[in-house]
Chain A
Amino acid sequence: DVKVTQSSRYLVKRTGEKVFLECVQDMDHENMFWYRQDPGLGLRLIYFSYDVKMKEKGDIPEGYSVSREKKERFSLILESASTNQTSMYLCASSTGLAGGRETQYFGPGTRLLVL
């Protein structure tokens, strides 16, 4: 079974702090994704990566950056946390194979509260 783990289930940070959210997958997947989930807005893609050191902006990249130094690990960085970044953050991975049959495997999520 694919396992995607996230470093924290719950996190409380203060405005202006630098925040790191870590995600690790154990299935040698090429693609990794970061989403945020807010009530009434569903999941929105922040950034994704299709290879080590490669990154692409999603729909809402402002205020975030990412790092992928190793294939299994994808980090989301909030350079200076703000209260409007309080949210549930979900990491996912997928194989990266062509053919229109990609499914994503999700981690359990990190609930971030910025005070």
Chain B
Amino acid sequence: SQQGEEDPQALSIQEGENATMNCSYKTSINNLQWYRQNSGRGLVHLILIRSNEREKHSGRLRVTLDTSKKSSSLLITASRAADTASYFCATEGMSGYSTLTFGKGTMLLVSP
């Protein structure tokens, strides 16, 4: 399996603080994506960064990608209680099919 690994497995912060999650993967990729999953629900796509990009922003989200280290980070600034969820990184490999390999996720708890 080429599954990525998120770090930390769980993160607990206060509202207003920043949350940083990391993802490492093993093989060459076309892109890396981050998804959010609220408890017991389906996943929602947050942001995609292509292999030739180093940083991307979307609202309060900032994603970085270091292909030399095969790692990515997701920063959520000024966290809100509504950000409480599990966050997954997913990599699209270079097999020709647009399949994603998901990590095991980081569980984020934002307390009011």
Q: Which residues of A contact B (CB under 8 A)?
A: 4, 31, 33, 35, 40-45, 48, 50, 56, 58-59, 88, 90, 92, 94, 96, 100-109, 111
Q: Which residues from A are CB-within-8-Å of B103?
A: 42
In the complex with contacts A50-B97, A100-B30, A108-B42 CB distance below 8 A:
yes
Of B14-22, B43-51, B54-62, B70-78, the stretch lying at the interface with chain A is: B43-51
**Secondary structure at chain A's binding surface: helix, strand, loop or mixed?**
strand
* Interface residues of B, count at CB 8 A: 27
Closest A residue by C-beta to B31: A100
Chain B residue, CB-CB nearest to A106: B42
Q: A42-B104, A44-B102, A100-B92 are in contact. List 9 more A-B contacts (CB 8 A).
A: A42-B105, A45-B100, A90-B43, A94-B98, A100-B30, A100-B31, A102-B92, A102-B98, A108-B42
The answer to whether B111 has its CB under 8 Å from any CB of chain A is: no
**Shortest Cβ distance from B42 into chain A, in angstroms?**
4
Kindly state the separation between the CA atoms of A31 and B100 in the bound complex, as whole angstroms.
12
Cβ–Cβ < 8 Å partners of B50 in chain A:
100-101
Q: Is the CB of B33 within 8 A of A42?
A: no
